[in-house]
Every structure is written in C-alpha cells, then in structure tokens.
C-alpha cells in the first residue's frame, strides 16, 4: 500500500489568517502600516522587549542588527557553525569575518567555554571581536549566562539568532529580553509564520530607531505616513538604507498566529513527548539534551543515530524513511564545510569536531501542530522499524 508522503513541515494557517488577509486587501493599505505596528506591539509584549521592528525576514533583522551596533569591514564576529546560511552571511555583507566556535555536544548550541578561550586568544593578539551571535539551536536557548559574561568582559555586543526560539525562556526570562538585539523568523517552517517575515527586538531605543530607518532606505519618516492624511510629501534620506519592511498583509497573518500561539505550542509539546516516550529506551538514538533551566520552543525534534547500534548511516536512514513516505531534514550542514567558508577561510571539517560529528548523525523529524495522532505514530513506527531492521 502506497501512502501519502508526509512532508517535513506544514504551516499552521487556516481560515482566520485568510480572513485577516482579505480584510487588509479590502482596506486598500497593503504595505507597512497599522497592522505592522500592531504586530510589533503584541510581539514585544510576549518577549518582554521595549522595542520591536517588524521586517521582511530574520536575515534582514540580523543584517540590520549588525549595522545598528556599528559592525565594519575587517571586524570579527563570533558565531556557531551549526546554523543556517543567514547567521554568517550577514557578517560577510560588511566585509567582516565570521569566527566560528564549536558547539556543546549535547545541545548543539555554541559552547561558552570555547567562546571564552577563543575571545581571550583573539583579544590578546589585538584582534578583539566586536560581537557574538548565539543561535538557539532547535529552540533550546544557548547558555546565555556564560555568553553574556564573556561578552561583558571583552566588550562584545550580543546579537541573538532566535529564528528557532519563539517562544522560549532561559532561567525564567523570555528569549528577546536577554541580549542586545534578538532576531526572530516567521519563515513558513518556523513556529509561527507570516509567509516570509522577521522581527528585531531590543531594549535600546537608538538601535531600534536605526533599524527602523535603515529598513526603509534610510528615510527618516515612515513612508506610510507620507501617503496618509498625517504626512507630507517631504522626506529625508539620512543613510543608504535597505528595503526590509514587513507588509501589512504579512503582519495580519502574524497577528492571527499570535492568537493561536498557546495552542500551537501545546500541540508541539504533545508530539515531542510522544517521540520522547517512543525512543527513550532504545539504543539506536540519542536525543539532544534539554537543560532544566530552559523552556524549549520545540521548533525541531532532532535525533542523533548511535553508530555503534546501527549498520546504517544517516544518509541511508533518511532514504529509508523517505521510502516509507516520511519527510525529514538535517539541521544543519555546518557552515565551515560549505565550499564558500571552506575556501574563504581555509576551514577543514575537523576544525569544529563537535559540529561535524553531530552533522554525520542527526536527523530532524516532522514536528508541526497539524500532525494527527496517526501521523505521529507513523513516524514513530517508521523510525523504530528502520532502526530494528538495521540494528548492529
Ligand atoms: C530560518 C533561519 C534563519 C533565517 O530566517 P529567514 O526569516 O528565512 O531570513 C536564520 N537562522 C536560522 C538558525 C534559521 O533556522
């Protein structure tokens, strides 16, 4: 029996979002306006931040964050290799250098002890880095106490890539209320979506204002005010900015998603718990750890294959699951083994052995709120039976 292919990810959008979009279209105001402002207000309350700027993507948010803190050509910025293209490419936009630091083997988040050693070493050589960009891998907050201490000691700004980490908490504080600027993603696969979209939040009003201005061509007044009765035709270009604003169409979707946030997260938790129970006693897999002092956003459910218990590698395992109609993914192919970073900075795979070692064993399983109980059981059955067939 050939069953329908189960995609790795499906966004949880429905008639509420469709209705909200239709209403924006009827209003005649499609681009950045009242809905975008409303989305910023609601979002910043949820993460306990003073300022929020709605943007076209998390990549745009990360770029504007580095611009706001004054990253320049030749600067160094510390980050994790276990991340998506965005985190390091935005450093390259300035002609600055991404300096990778290996991850903790259990959470795959940047290792703050190694961050400390590398920052110390660079500072001693007069090459002090300007910023650190932790990535909250899979939705598990990075060790922010250790990271903030290193940052303070060496004068680094902390720009968080929280693309996976809404909503998440570290020692009772929401991700968004910890570092200098925190960047979220509303890409179609993320915990909440606006189709494409992102948000930068900060406690610093100057940085917030700079990001807002630079998100719209460096123009000092919002374009939407120019075309409403409150505005005039007059505007000033204060810097060569970018075009990174969020439309009201996207923001209207985002506002509906926020209303569903609690129920979406409850469903993610139920699915993750079912996986935990099903895989816990088996020798084939290792799940990434969850520290007691965090609230995990449960963006990804990642298993690592145990090579001693299996006669099949990661790539083969992914193929077997595909044959059984289960879509999976791998987060991430570490940045340092991609041709660009390898060639531009001369990295070898073993320069970051934890990231590279994990990469060879990890698989991300489907985890999204619209999965039915039978879908969850189908994944569990496919994973455990495949492991059983290839047991060593
Ligand atoms: C998805 C993702 C991004 C990019 O988000 P966009 O909104 O698509 O720009 C950045 N970092 C990580 C870790 C991601 O997973």
Stretch 276-302: mean pLDDT: 95
- For residue 63 and ligand 1, the question of a CB distance below 6 A is answered with no
What confidence score (pLDDT) does residue 380 get?
98
Q: Does ligand 1 come within 6 angstroms of the Cβ of 257?
A: no
Mean pLDDT of the chain: 96
Rg, C-alpha atoms of the chain: 22
- The atom of ligand 1 lying closest to the CA of 161 is 11
Per-residue confidence (pLDDT) for residue 225, from 0 to 100: 64
Question: Which helix (DSSP H) or strand (DSSP E) does residue 387 occupy?
Answer: helix 373-389
Q: Is 194 in the pocket of ligand 1 (CB under 6 A)?
A: no
Task: Indicate whether this model's pTM tops 0.95.
Answer: yes
35 is catalytic: no
Helix 248-279 × helix 34-47 angle, to 10°: 30
Predicted local distance difference test score (pLDDT) of residue 339: 98
Q: Residue 256 half-sphere exposure, CB side, CA atoms within 13 Å?
A: 22
Handedness of CA 125, 182, 354, 345 (dihedral sign): negative
In tens, the pLDDT along 41-67 reads 999 999 999 999 999 999 999 999 999
311: tokens are 């006669």
pLDDT given for residue 235 in this prediction: 87
Structure tokens at 111: 């290792």
Percent of the chain scored above 90 by pLDDT? 94
Task: Determine the Cα–Cα distance for residues 367 and 383; give it in Å rounded to an integer.
Answer: 14
How far apart CA 212 and CA 32 sit, in angstroms, is 11
- Is residue 354 within 8 A of residue 111, CB to CB? The reply is yes
What's the CA gap between 55 and 250, in Å, rounded?
10
Residue 233 pLDDT: 82
Residue 38's φ and ψ, nearest 5 degrees, are -65, -40
Angle at 162 between CA 368 and CA 255, to 5 degrees: 60
Q: Check residue 2 and give its pLDDT.
A: 57
Catalytic residue among 44, 190, 243, 286: 190
pLDDT tens digits along 201-249: 999 999 999 999 999 999 986 555 666 676 778 889 999 999 999 999 9
Over residues 149-190, the pLDDT tens digits come to 999 999 999 999 999 999 999 999 999 999 999 999 999 999
pLDDT at 220: 82
Dist. CA 143 → ligand 1 center (Å): 20
Q: How confident is the model at residue 147 (pLDDT cuts 50, 70, 90)?
A: very high
Strands 173-174 and 131-133: what pairing? unpaired
User: Residues 6 or more apart from 126 whose CB is under 8 A from it?
Assistant: none
Regarding the beta carbon of 166 and ligand 1, being less than 6 Å apart is answered no
More confident residue, 99 or 281: 99
Position 234 scores a pLDDT of 83
Q: Is the pLDDT of residue 1 over 70?
A: no
Query: pLDDT tens, 311-370?
Result: 999 999 999 999 999 999 999 999 999 999 999 999 999 999 999 999 999 999 999 999
Report the alpha-carbon distance of residue 165 to residue 351 in Å, rounded.
27
Q: Is the peptide bond prior to 33 cis by the omega test (within 30 degrees of 0)?
A: no
Does 82 sit behind a cis peptide bond, omega within 30 degrees of 0 on the bond before it? no
Specify the pLDDT at position 129: 98
Closest ligand 1 atom, residue 189 Cα: 1
Compute, in angstroms, the gap from residue 85 CA to the centroid of ligand 1: 8
Q: Is the CB of 58 under 6 A from ligand 1?
A: yes
Band of the pLDDT at 287, cuts 50, 70, 90? Answer: confident
Buried b (16+ CB within 10 A) or exposed e, 254-273: bbbbbebeeebbebbeebbe
């Amino acid at each position: 029996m050939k069953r329908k292919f189960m995609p790795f990810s499906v966004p949880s959008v429905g008639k509420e979002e469709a209705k909200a979009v239709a209403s924006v279209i009827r209003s005649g105001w499609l681009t950045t306006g009242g809905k975008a402002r409303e989305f910023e207000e609601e979002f910043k309350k949820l993460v306990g931040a003073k300022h929020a700027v709605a943007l076209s993507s998390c990549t745009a948010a990360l770029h504007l964050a580095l611009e706001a803190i004054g990253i320049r050509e030749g600067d160094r910025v510390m980050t994790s290799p276990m991340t998506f293209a965005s985190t390091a490419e935005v450093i390259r936009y300035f002609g600055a250098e991404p300096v990778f630091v290996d991850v903790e083997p259990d959470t795959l988040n940047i290792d703050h002890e190694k961050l400390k050693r590398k920052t110390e070493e660079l500072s001693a050589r007069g090459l002090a880095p300007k910023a650190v960009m932790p990535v909250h891998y899979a939705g598990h907050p990075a060790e922010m106490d250790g990271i903030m201490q290193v940052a303070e000691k060496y004068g680094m700004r902390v720009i968080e890539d929280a693309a996976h980490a809404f909503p998440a908490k570290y020692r009772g504080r929401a991700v968004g209320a910890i570092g200098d600027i925190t960047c979220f993603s509303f890409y179609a696969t993320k915990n909440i979506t606006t189709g494409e979209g992102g948000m930068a939040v900060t406690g610093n009003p100057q940085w917030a204002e700079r990001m807002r201005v630079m998100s719209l061509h460096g123009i000092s007044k919002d374009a939407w005010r120019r075309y409403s009765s409150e505005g005039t035709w007059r505007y000033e270009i204060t810097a060569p900015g970018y075009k990174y604003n969020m439309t009201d169409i996207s923001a209207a979707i985002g506002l509906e998603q926020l209303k569903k946030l609690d129920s979406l997260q409850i469903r993610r938790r139920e699915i993750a718990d079912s996986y935990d129970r099903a895989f816990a006693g088996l020798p084939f897999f290792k799940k990434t750890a969850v520290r007691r002092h965090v609230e995990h956003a449960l963006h990804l459910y990642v298993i690592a294959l145990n090579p001693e218990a299996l006669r099949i590698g990661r790539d083969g395992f992914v193929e077997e699951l595909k044959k059984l109609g289960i879509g999976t993914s791998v987060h991430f192919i570490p940045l340092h083994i991609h041709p660009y970073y390898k060639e531009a900075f001369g990295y070898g795979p073993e320069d970051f052995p934890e990231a590279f070692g994990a990469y060879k064993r990890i698989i991300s399983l489907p985890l999204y709120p619209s999965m039915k109980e039978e879908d969850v059981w189908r994944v569990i059955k496919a994973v455990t039976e495949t492991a059983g067939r290839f047991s060593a």
